[in-house]
Amino acid sequence: MNTTTQASARRLSPVSRTLPVLLAMEDDAEDVGRLSPDDRLTCHVHGRWIHQCVASPLHVNPVTRHRWCRTCATALTVSVDELSGAVTMSCPRCGHGGSAASARLTAACRASLAAARGRSTGGSRQQAA
């Protein structure tokens, strides 16, 4: 997880927040410039935790390379395992497709999983793939 995501997660204190409360807090923080849209743990479009809706076509952006393989011009496939906390994104054509934007989205999904479970989102979590 990058520093911005960790700082945002700590500042918004998602561990003790319900989904509707955190959605509203992240909306407000984003509106005033305190939270990057890439660092949200919730999705303002779907009204869900980001890990629950990241596979939606609405989360594919070829311009910013979120969930996009520039080499193959293909949307990345997403796998979220809520039991293990594993989140992966890969290109169904070439198997790669990683980008900084998708890595941030993967980190946000991992933090979202942890927040939804009511655990701390900081610390020893794996870096985004």
Predicted confidence (pLDDT) at residue 118 exceeds the cutoff of 90: no
What would the DSSP string read from start to end of 34-57?
SS-GGG-SEETTTTEEHHHHTTSG
Predicted confidence (pLDDT) at residue 119 exceeds the cutoff of 70: no
pLDDT of res. 38: 85
Point out which residues pair with 3 in neighbouring strands. Answer: none
Backbone angles phi, psi at 84, to 5 degrees: -90, -20
pLDDT of res. 18: 86
Residues in the chain: 129
pLDDT tens digit string along 16-64? 578 999 999 999 999 999 998 888 999 999 999 999 999 999 999 999 8
pLDDT of res. 14: 52
Taking a C-beta distance cutoff of 8 angstroms, is the pair 1, 110 a contact?
yes
Predicted confidence (pLDDT) at residue 84 exceeds the cutoff of 80: yes
Backbone angles phi, psi at 32, to 5 degrees: -100, 5
What would the DSSP string read from start to end of 4-21?
HHHHHHHHH-GGG--HHH
pTM for this predicted structure: 0.74
Share of the chain above pLDDT 70, in %: 79
Taking a C-beta distance cutoff of 8 angstroms, is the pair 111, 80 a contact?
no
